[in-house]
Structures are given as C-alpha cells and as structure tokens.
Amino acid sequence: MRVPVLTYHSVNIAGNDYADNDHVALAADLRALHRGGWRIVPLAQVVAALLGEIAPAQVERAVALSFDDGAWFDWHDLDHPGCGPQRGFAGILRDFRDETGSPVHATSFVIVSPAARAVLDRTCLVGRGWWGDQWWPLAQREGIISIESHSWDHNHDTLPQTAQRDGRTGTFRSIQTWAEADAEIRVAADWLDARLAPHRASLFAFPYGESSDYLVHEYLPHHGAEHRLRAAFGTTPAPVTAQAARWNLPRYVCGQHWRSPEQFAVVLAEASP
Ligand SMILES: [Zn+2]
C-alpha cells in the first residue's frame, strides 16, 4: 500500500488564491484527484489496511483527507473579515460529491478542550466564537467528516496554562511524561467519546506534527487500554505504506509540502505505486 494522507487547515486564509487559502486549494485538489483516478477513502480505512484488518486492495490508488484544529471553518460557510465569504470545508466536500458522484470523506483532528478553544478563538482567530464544538456531532452523524483527537490543548503557546508541567509550550516535543500524555491524550479521548457516542475516538494527530520518544515508543504503544487509540499521525511527507510507523504515520500538509497545483501533482506522483 502507498496511501498519501493530505492535511488542510481551514483557518489558513490569508487571501483567496491557491497558495494562501486552504479552501481554494482543497476545492482544486479534489478535482485534480478525481481527474487522476484517485479515490478518497476515510482515514480509518487506511489504518484498518495498515493493521491488516482489510485487504490492501481496498486502499489502492486512494488518498485520505485530514483537517487540523477543528475550527468553524471546517464546517460553516463564514464571512472572513479580511478575505470575504468562504465556503466551509464540509460544503466543499459536499459540492465535490454532488458534482462528481464520488464518495468523499475527511477526518477532522480537533483541539478538544473547550476552555483552550475559547482562548484560541481570541488569540488565533478574530474572537467571534468560531471555535465551538456544536458542529462535531452533526458532522459525525452526517458521515462526511469524522471527529478525532488533536490533543486536549495543543500545548499552544498562547494559552495561560497547558498540560505541560514546566510551561514549555508551542511544541509537542515537550510532552514527555505519563501525566502530560494522560492529560493531553486520554482526557481528550474521554471527552470526545462522552459527547460523540456511539463514535469512539481512535486516531490522533500530533499538534505541530511533533512528537517525543516517550509518546511514540512508550505511551502510545504500551498504554492502549488507557488511551484506546489505534494510530497516530505526524507530518513527515510520505505515503502510508505497510512498513510505516503506526504511532507516527506520515502526512502531507498543504501550504507546507505543496503550494500550487503543479506541486500537488508532484506529491501525487511521488506517492503513486
Ligand atoms: Zn494543530
């Protein structure tokens, strides 16, 4: 198997062109995938193939989509204060499905803590209450976007306090103890499972794409009964193969690993079997 996992950030809106707006890029990339004969499969299906639960043929010439951080731009059409009306990621997916008849699905890795999102809404967005979680159960029920964990508080450097014991924020490499991992990962899974039942959170994306040896080699592989996850994703630009590391799977990030339709074609060519 060689499955590229593509990552978009719905809050990346600095203009209305492909290079500075992930909504424009996502809409264009979906059509490029369709023209190239790629199928879009749920990320959980890629993990099932990796774990040998389904045949690799089920993810042949397929990609999976993931979104990070879980802000309202994943779901709602919103009027951006600087760049005007923006179609939400969910609407972009539905438009594509209605236009092509192709199945489409994405996984949103959300920042789980409501208190953290309330602060981030002011420090990273424009303070209009655009980081609420009201849409998460709706997305889960519609089946077009699955909700998974991007940690409790992202160990974000604009928060007054995070789960990191020494105040070393702005990186996930500093999550190096059981207590920190438990607060960032297990607590987030508990919160999601309580509110999105019968869905069970089973996937994790490292904030900033960063991990620690403790997380990848100790906590995630050996504390499964606590965190109940099946796989974790970083941001190494490579396709998921049968040999990929289950607790630090690769993903390509829009704006970081490709910035134009031409570069996107290169990503797909590299990932082609
Ligand atoms: Zn993030």
pLDDT tens digits in sequence order for the chain, 273 residues long: 999 999 999 999 999 999 999 999 999 999 999 999 999 999 999 999 999 999 999 999 999 999 999 999 999 999 999 999 999 999 999 999 999 999 999 999 999 999 999 999 999 999 999 999 999 999 999 999 999 999 999 999 889 889 888 889 999 999 999 999 999 999 999 999 999 999 999 999 999 999 999 999 999 999 999 999 999 999 999 999 999 999 999 999 999 999 999 999 999 999 887
What is the Å distance from ligand 1's center to 100 Cα? 30
Q: What is the DSSP string of 89-151?
A: HHHHHHHHHHHH-----EEEEE---HHHHHHHHHHTS-SSSTT-STHHHHHHHHTSEEEEES-
Is residue 165 assigned to a domain? no
- CATH of residue 98's domain is 3.20.20.370
Domain that holds residue 35: 2-152+184-212+229-271
What one-character-per-residue DSSP string does 205-241 give?
E-GGG---HIIIIIIHHH-HHHH--SEEE---SS-EE
Instruction: Tell whether 167 is covered by a domain.
Output: no
If you measure from the C-alpha of residue 13 to the centroid of ligand 1, how many angstroms do you get, rounded to a whole number?
A: 15
Domain count of the fold of the chain: 1
Report d(CA 75, CA 66) in Å as an integer.
13
Distance 101 CA to ligand 1 centre (A): 31
User: What's this model's pTM, rounded to 2 decimal places?
Assistant: 0.97
The CA 184 to ligand 1 mean position distance, Å, reads: 13
- Computed on alpha carbons and rounded to an integer, the radius of gyration of the chain in Å comes to 18
Residue 133 forms part of a structural domain: yes
Residue 168 lies in a domain: no
CA of 49 to the centre of ligand 1 (A): 25
In a domain, 176, yes or no: no
